[in-house]
Structure 1
Amino acid sequence: MKRRADGVTCGGCALSAAGAIGAPSLWLSLPRTRRHLGGGFENEGMDWTVLLTELPFVILGGAFVPLLVFALLMRWRDRRRAEDSGA
């Protein structure tokens, strides 16, 4: 059985891009992050190293976790179709 990959590839890329944009926005809205980036009283507790330590992981996680879930759902869907057509 041959699979059409054009719709799956486009959907996975779009989901990955949305995750890579959405995850940092969510991360920036958290109170902990705002406190580290200068939201404390008189810049108390400012820690700019979070941009170098946490932000890359947030972006990578936002890009790859939705893509992984999408790939697993597509595999599950294809397996269900194969079971239905083979039975």
Structure 2
Amino acid sequence: MTMGRRDAVTCGGCLVSAVGAAGAVLAWGMSGRTQRHLGNGFENNGMDLGVLYTELPFVFLSGAVAPAAVWALGAWLLGRRRRSDLHA
């Protein structure tokens, strides 16, 4: 891979990771279960702010790591296929 192409692949992976993390946190925050824990129940019954430090970090990390891993696997497979085409 040329240097400019490698930079574009790296930038794309970072972008996919950031969008995945933001999307995961947004989806987690909008779920009914999370809303109940954060106080949208009847008169704040069942409010549990512990989800912010027990669940939120895992949601953020999984949202960032999963898309980046898929992106990296795809980039590796495409790079490998292109190298094999050059040697054929």
SS of the residue aligned with 1:42?
Answer: helix
What residue number does 2:18 align with? Answer: 17
Deviation of the 1:31 alpha carbon: 0.8
Distance 1:60 1:3 in 2: 30
* Residue in 2 that maps onto 1:56: 57
Under a length normalisation based on structure 2, what TM-score does the superposition of the two structures give?
Answer: 0.87
**Which residue type is aligned with residue 22 of structure 1?**
G
5+ long unaligned stretches in structure 1? none
For residues 50 and 79 of structure 2, what CA distance do their matches in structure 1 show?
44
- For 1:36, the aligned partner's letter is H
- Number of aligned residue pairs: give it: 86
* Cα deviation code 1:31-82 (max 9, x no counterpart): 1111111121111111100001000111111111111110001111112223
Question: In structure 2, what residue type is equivalent to 1:68?
Answer: A
Stretches of 4+ aligned residues off by more than 6 angstroms = none
Please state how far the C-alpha of 1:14 moved relative to its aligned partner. 0.9
Query: % of aligned pairs identical?
Result: 55
1:35 alignment partner in structure 2:
36
Which consecutive unaligned segments of at least 5 residues does structure 2 have? none
Q: Which amino acid aligns with 1:37?
A: L
* TM-score using structure 1 length: 0.88
Q: Residues of 2 paired with 1:3 and 1:69: CA distance?
A: 21
Tell me if 1:79 matches 2:41. Answer: no
